[in-house]
Amino acid sequence: MSSTSLGKSILSTDLAQSRILLSRVSTTSSVMPVTIHFTQISMLALTADKLFTPDGTIERPLVLIDRGKVAEISSFSARALPPGSSLRSFDGAAIVPGYIDLHIHGAAGFDLMSGSTDAFSLIEQMLARHGVTSYLPTTITAPMDRTLTSLELLADLIEQPAEKREGRAQAVGIHIEGPFLSHRRRGVHPPENLLPPRIQTFERFWEASRGNIRMMTIAPELEGAEELIAEAARRGVCVSVGHSDADVEATERGIAHGARHATHTFNAMRPLEHRSPGILGTVLTDKRLSADIIADGVHVDPSIVRMFATLKGPDNTVLITDGLSATGMPDGHYHLGSLDVEVKDGRCIANGVLAGSVLTMDRAVRNLAAFAEWPISKAVATASRNPARVADLKGKGVLAPGSDADIVILNAAGEVLQTFIGGIEA
């Protein structure tokens, strides 16, 4: 049995612990009952040179996977393989938690706001090839009717039965980036579709998404923002400050009302000034905020990425891609929502302004390790453990007994060799 079919068996059936008793009764003669015993379905076992955990590194680990979950982690030399288990060995490689992208608009030539079922599948397959096992499809500011329709489609995607999503990155919630943004720091978001923060407007989004909104970017200085921040936080949404021209005081009021994260730090934010630090001064120094960054070397200079990682530290630094439909595609013209974006040499431009990226998460991890001079294990946490905590994704972002078996195998250079999602090979 291949590891793929094995994984599918583990997820889809509980026959391993079942017994079927077939009895046939005749009016003329008695027949002994026939009892069929099913063979115990084997676990999937993974080993490699090392494994990164929240507490450090395990050399030559053994990871046992059963029914989509991590059943046990131990040293390969200290634990015999369970009888009938299927072993996959990755010499010279590391086992790490699956990556999580909190901010992505599309990939593989398709935009997530207008994608069909087939488009979603292609996007998610491409994400999995680059180590992403979970993600938040992200909306861009658009007319109300289009936003509501997109939220409904994305809710359908998130609520698909598990068997229809096997071997693909999993959409686990929605990130609404807009329309509650600063006109001055809107980036490429269409100004005619920006709206003032109102709980009634958010309620329409919430109903269309069927409660699947996990993250919301908002400019905290806008009138009505504080009330909306408090209400969204009450519903369990991670409120992220961004696309903002806020000063320190407005940013701190947003935090006091429930904001706890910052969106693509430095980009679409009031610049840092030494006498008027503004929102960036707070984002970089306030330990109550985690913050994400686009580490492609285009949106932010590598030296600034290093400064950001030093100030936020390994626990509050989060990597995102802000990827658009052009990710994984050749140079050309693509869409971000209703916008036409020209992609050339890794730069995505709409109306003369940067409009998303073609960064993949595995490249972002390698870039951060290089820019910040961090070991790859430290950089991995910013794409797994940290975003899982930000979005409150239980059982994801770490590898420990009971966690989801979302696993990436990296070679020594940090490149993805294999991805497992719920224990199934992608």
Distance CA 177, CA 248 (A): 22
3 state DSSP class of 82: coil
User: Chain-centre distance of CA 336, in angstroms?
Assistant: 19
Backbone angles phi, psi at 65, to 5 degrees: -120, 130
Closest CA to 260 of 223, 301, 228, 288: 288
Q: What angle do CA 215, 221, 225 make, to 5 degrees?
A: 50
Q: Are 380 and 97 in contact (CB under 8 A)?
A: yes
- The residues, any chain, with a CB within 8 Å of residue 330's CB and separated by 6 or more, are none
Q: Would you call 322 a catalytic residue per the annotation?
A: yes
Q: Which helix (H) or strand (E) holds 199?
A: helix 199-208
Residue type, 205: F
Q: Which of 111, 322, 362, 406 is catalytic?
A: 322
DSSP-derived letter for residue 295 is: -
Torsion of CA 357, 412, 370, 392, to 10 degrees: 60
3 state DSSP class of 99: strand
Q: What angle do CA 122, 296, 54 make, to 5 degrees?
A: 80
Helix axes 278-285, 302-316, angle to 10 degrees: 50
Closest CA to 417 of 19, 89, 110, 72: 89
Distance CA 258, CA 43 (A): 43
Closest CA to 393 of 175, 176, 229: 175
3 state DSSP class of 96: strand
Residue type, 101: D
Which residues participate in catalysis according to the annotation? 322
